[in-house]
Structure 1
Amino acid sequence: MELEHKANWAVKTLNFDLKVASSKRLIDINELDEIRLDTYKSALLYKEKTKRWHDQSFIRREFKVGELVLVYNSRLKFFAGKLKSTWSGPFKVIRVFPHGPIEVKGPTNTFKVSGPHAKQYHVNRSLEAPEVLYIEPS
């Protein structure tokens, strides 16, 4: 009882209204919630924008079954050597999965490869013997 009396005395001496203080506290809590929601929305927009920018750097490649591909070997990235390529192959595409990975057949086994770690293999036809056309002089 004595503590209540001291609390009431402190409120009266400071001319402090409990209803006004409680309503102000509720307003402050609501403002903090609004700030938190705004921050959440802006962080979400930032993440979406960053993801769009990051995904632009990937080249979308469409592979077909039976196609020849080269596979990126990440182990050679650090110890490649001066003229050694980090792309190995060619490998034959056995199966294409819906979200990017492909299954390729190597000389001994089959394995899955992520879409960005594979690229199409084009046979260099310029190394083959060109056709020679003989034109008779007129």
Structure 2
Amino acid sequence: MFENCVSSGSLRRCGLIANHFMAKTHLNGGRRFYKCPRFDEEASRGLWEWRDVEMPLHVTMSINNLYTSLKSVEVERNYLKKMVANLEDVVFAERLKMEKIMKEMKGINSANLDDVARMEDKLQTIKWFIVF
């Protein structure tokens, strides 16, 4: 309905400083007002007052539409942030898998190279036997 903007305002009869808010309703969207900090208490006189003059209907409707658009963009942004975080987790997990596979492949390749070197040595030995 309204959003606390500033915690300062005009001094009330009770001696407390009134809080400054901005209305978010359809009819008063964007209008600023002061409200007593004790507004909801029984001892309060329930005082509040508009800070600025009433705006034309088309202006309040425009403000309300912009506020609604802002909220929908914020919801979409939060959704996209969650998607990015989830994708980063997936990419990290896949990266770990790929690193493990690469280590295994290096091990297999080095084992194969050792086998090839041993076979070449045996072949060389066989050649020496054939020659002599």
TM-score, normalised on structure 2? 0.35
Q: Which has the higher helix share?
A: 2
Q: Which has the higher strand share?
A: 1
TM-score, normalised on structure 1? 0.34
